[in-house]
Amino acid sequence: AVAMRVQELVVERLVSNIDLSVSLLELFRSGLAGYVDLVDERPNLVRFLLSVQYANATSLIESGRPLSDAIAQLVGSVFSSRGGNADHIEYVIDAMLASTGIAVLRWFDEPVISKETLVDELVVYVWGGLAASAKARGVELNPDEPVLVPAE
């Protein structure tokens, strides 16, 4: 029950930060900032959840699936709307979420950099991974393009 509530909090935070009128890069920056803010605002809840979740990898995967699926749907739509192949994008998203989560955990346990610096570092990583995946799928992503491409 606690894991599902945390998942709901993360999804609520990320969804509330979605603004389809901004650039692609700003969309990912606001999502990452929202996640890092949530972790920073609720440290005891995060610590409890991690102690339970990391004891059971299956539980960790299952509890993260709604968030992963939502992001995969968004990224898949961005790729598809630009003529790219979005098939099985969920694996790319899972890899990014897992590695981003580990980086946030490191910061959570050893906050030697500011939240803003952490978000800046994660944006570079996430954008690089998405841009590389997009290119491999036939799409050139421009970080300054709007999320929604106007119909021609």
Tell me the per-residue pLDDT of 116-151, one tens digit each, with 9 for 90 and over.
999 999 999 999 999 999 999 999 999 998 876 555
Q: How confident is the model at residue 60 (pLDDT cuts 50, 70, 90)?
A: low
Overall pTM surpassing 0.95 (yes/no):
no
Burial of residue 54 (CB within 10 Å: 0-12, 13-18, 19+) is: exposed
Bridge partner residues of 146 (DSSP): 23
